[in-house]
Amino acid sequence: MRKKIVAGNWKMNKDLSETEELLKNLKAQVIPETVQVIVAPAFTNLQHAFQSLREHPVTVAAQNMHQSDDGAFTGEVSAAMLKSVGVQTVILGHSERRAYFKEDNSVLAEKVNTALKNDMTVIFCFGEELNNRKEGTHFEVVKTQLTEGLFHISEDNWDKVVLAYEPVWAIGTGETASPEQAQQMHNYVRKTVLENYSKKISEDVSILYGGSVKANNAKDIFGKPDVDGGLIGGAALDVESFMAIVNAFE
């Protein structure tokens, strides 16, 4: 059975004291047993977050990592470094990484390999831009991102993969894909996984939706059969709104 997951991507927000405050508030909440909650603070705060959440049912993820094991890559962080501070989960392929840091499908394929080789869980993000949707090429774009960035992995790696569909036009814009648009794409993604892997894998993989998910729209989006949770940006920066989204599953 696939997991229900709500992941908060804090992006480049929250310094150490703000992170401490947010984690303190988060730890005061009751996390429903049926939902896996993940938070992804900035690199500098990962170790603190991991230590702080040790006894709490919230997973800490990194927002990115480098594809190489080590070496002369100024400013970068490796899988081994993440693991050394307790982090076992990494978000890869976020549209902001693709757009601002020019991460293409082939680099992402390498990052996926490195993460899996290090026994890490990957939250693999993909999604079309507005012009793709206007032109009607959104399914094709998503298929290419999955095929070139992820579908080289073997069947036995899929228990370490979570998919996150994030239409770029809905990220941080206040514009959300309708629950029907999200369901249509998630269903397409599941079918695309099935074209390449077993029925069990396509049925078991969790597919998250991301893009302006808020407390007031989460229930409708999460109510769709192929939507297994959310990757939350802005609304994850406040515990009350984040927990309202987590509890939208109830």
Contact 244, 218 (CB under 8 A): yes
The yes-or-no answer on residue 166 being catalytic is yes
The residue of the chain with the least Cβ separation from ligand G3H equals 233
Q: Which is nearer to ligand G3H, 149 or 210 (CB)?
A: 210
- Contact status, residue 37 vs residue 59, Cβ threshold 8 Å: yes
**Binding flag, residue 210, ligand G3H (CB under 6 A):** yes
94 labelled catalytic: yes
CB of 64 to ligand G3H, least distance (A): 11
Q: Strand, helix or coil at 195?
A: helix
Q: What are phi and psi of 60, to 5 degrees?
A: -100, 130
233 is in an annotated binding site: yes
Residue of 233, 241, 243, 245 interacting with ligand G3H (CB under 6 A): 233
Interaction between residue 166 and ligand G3H (CB under 6 A): yes
Report if residue 127 touches ligand G3H, rule: CB under 6 A: no
- Taking alpha carbons only, the member of 181, 220, 195, 93 closest to residue 145 is 93
Q: Does 241 bind ligand G3H (CB under 6 A)?
A: no
Binding site for ligand G3H (CB under 6 A): 9, 94, 166, 171-172, 210-213, 231-235
Pick out the residues of the known binding site for substrate.
9-11, 172, 212, 233-234
